């Protein structure tokens, strides 16, 4: 069956994208057709695909063609996290959620689509096997770090600059807290850049698609919350050395004795700046800080 035309969907919905509400509808058929393939290319489990921000359903339509069969045949209650197959789409705009229920009534009745109306940062997300989403850029970071700990393959659209920071390597100007945090959870690659012309209305920036494949880090951290907090603290002083960063950011990291951590850290590390530290190096420093700052191993 031929995929639904994105412009026709917008016309049937009777809506226009609203940049003030982060609504930029993806209308390029070529991009829409490619997005699901970034999962199938790696033989990812597509039995239950989660889409955040369904809009008028152009991507939803393509995902239904790629996702597994099964389902309940009704809009699932927000507290139900069962896996029934097919696609679950989360849409915060009540008018668009209503349109999706009308446009895809046949797929809903057949148990292949579930529409959850609500904010993706607040509703209970279902269990899912993978996610493909054109995220609202204003909350892309918050949504991403809700999805990454689920340890599922992700294909996500972002503002290009944000995506480049996610995949950046140590020693580059783009490398930062976002790079370390993302790469802690997954192997991430930028698979496609998307021009402004692919959207209606056109955003002010270019976009990019990343694919994140869950991967265990090659290091260990005893306190993940402290690890992220410590990385955040040091990157607030990215132009400072690690020595000064540890000393100056105890109010962020929560260290009670930053000077003791400085004294215990190798001089070669103290001379580095945060953008020269790999995730593994941050993890090693985190473990040292936990040991020195809290002799019982807690922070």
187/130 Cα distance (integer angstroms):
15
Two tokens, residue 18: 């609203």
- Containing 87, the helix (H) or strand (E) segment is strand 86-91
Flag whether 251 is marked binding.
no
**Residue 260, CA distances (Å) to 235, 288, 290 in order:** 20, 10, 11
Two tokens, residue 170: 């140590």
Helix, strand, coil proportions of the chain in percent (round to 5)? 45, 15, 40
| Cis peptide bond upstream of 42, omega within 30 | no
Flag whether 91 is marked binding.
yes
Three-state SS at 259: helix
84/165 Cα distance (integer angstroms):
35
**Residue 162, CA distances (Å) to 59, 144, 165, 183 in order:** 21, 11, 5, 14
- Is the separation of the CB atoms in 140 and 159 below 8 Å? yes
Closest CA to 230 of 151, 267, 284, 159: 284
Flag whether 26 is marked binding.
yes
Three-state SS at 272: coil
| DSSP conformational letter for 274 | G
Flag whether 119 is marked binding.
yes
Flag whether 244 is marked binding.
no
Binding residues for S-adenosyl-L-methionine, by number, are: 24, 26, 53, 91, 119, 134
């Amino acid at each position: 069956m031929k995929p639904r035309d994105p412009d026709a969907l917008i016309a049937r919905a009777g809506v226009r994208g609203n940049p003030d509400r982060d609504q930029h509808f993806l209308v390029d058929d070529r991009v829409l057709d490619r997005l699901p393939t970034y999962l199938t290319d790696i033989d990812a489990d597509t039995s239950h695909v989660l889409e955040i921000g369904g809009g008028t359903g152009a991507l939803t339509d393509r995902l239904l063609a790629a996702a597994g069969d099964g389902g309940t045949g009704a809009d699932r209650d927000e507290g139900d996290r069962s896996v029934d197959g097919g696609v679950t789409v989360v849409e915060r705009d009540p008018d668009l959620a209503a349109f999706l229920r009308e446009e895809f009534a046949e797929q809903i009745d057949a148990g292949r689509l579930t529409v959850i109306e609500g904010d993706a940062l607040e509703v209970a997300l279902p269990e899912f096997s993978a996610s493909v989403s054109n995220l609202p850029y204003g909350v892309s970071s918050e949504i991403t770090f809700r999805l990454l700990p689920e340890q599922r393959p992700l294909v996500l659209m972002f503002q290009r600059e944000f995506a480049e920071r996610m995949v950046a390597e140590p020693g580059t100007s783009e490398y930062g807290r976002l790079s370390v945090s993302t790469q802690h959870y997954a192997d991430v690659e930028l698979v496609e850049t998307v021009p402004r012309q692919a959207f209606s209305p056109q955003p002010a920036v270019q976009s990019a698609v990343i694919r994140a494949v869950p991967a265990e880090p090659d290091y260990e951290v005893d306190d993940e919350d402290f690890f992220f907090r410590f990385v955040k603290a040091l990157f607030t002083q990215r132009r400072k050395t690690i020595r000064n960063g540890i000393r100056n950011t105890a109010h962020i990291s929560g260290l009670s004795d930053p000077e003791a951590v400085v004294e215990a850290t190798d001089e070669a590390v103290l001379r580095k700046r945060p953008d020269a530290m790999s995730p593994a190096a941050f993890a090693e420093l985190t473990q040292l800080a936990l040991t020195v700052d809290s002799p019982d191993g807690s922070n």
